[in-house]
Structure 1
């Protein structure tokens, strides 16, 4: 049984991997646009699809709606902290929305930034990188997302296992209850039947005088 469960788990994980692409929303200050584009380029080379506000081509669509839709469709929300980072109000709003939708928030911190000065980084998993380590940072980003997706797939399988077990228990309990109810019901006596006349003889009826 355990082997079958693990086989199903691996099959689901494989299906998740075959979905292809690792869509990621990168939130950054306008002063770090050049670095954000470098990350986008290197990330694309390892299979990570980066969404940048500067490259969104949905003209006429409200900015808030574009940003929220992009976050909803992403596997992770990356906050880029670099030398020019100032944590603009837009970045803060995007972080708040991502946290409200349970999208994993992953900071990417350039070595020029002192992480201790950023309160939101405390206690958070983060990727640190230097100017010559953008490719490595993009690869690490993919591995982090891949790990989260595989973990999510395992949790899905285990949830199905639990629900399946509960359903089986409920069905078994219902069957036992019906069996006990049938056993407790008194046996019913069959209704007496009127005898039929013997074959070959007709019944005689007498009228009262």
Structure 2
């Protein structure tokens, strides 16, 4: 079995030493001092405040690996922000036993996550709000594509060229080109095949 490389980020050396000792008690885990080489990062903070949120965002931009957050205090209103910073597991410090910490790290390494029920409920509410109040009014689905973009991409996937798509949807060719240009630019897609592949992976065509 491949060993999971774990980096630990803590404000004080005592906490850092304790976590390191705990994590290395399992043979499948190894401490990785270089965060850029880690499979999972354990991030410890007494409370999640504005500075901690900024640190998490910065860390996620530098190293795109899952994070386990151990904290005494996390405002439910900030749960979406920490999830956007690649946090997949949250452990209250009072409940962060060695077994729970190790299980959270292993789950994170395997693409899973763990979160207290109250925070999970808050996260689901925020996602539902975004879907209803942000995506739907703008005509976007969860993939970030509009209905018109999906229609154009579906016909592209069927092998139609610009003129054929325009005729099928009763658009001008310029409109079709603008739709394609808009979706590739907004989603940083390289070309038409890349846009079709994106839509297929998103499950919208």
- Normalising by structure 2, we get a TM-score of 0.41
Whichever of the two has the greater Rg, that structure is 1
Q: Could you say which structure has the greater relative contact order, defined with CA pairs below 8 angstroms and 6 or more residues apart?
A: 1
- Normalising by structure 1, we get a TM-score of 0.40
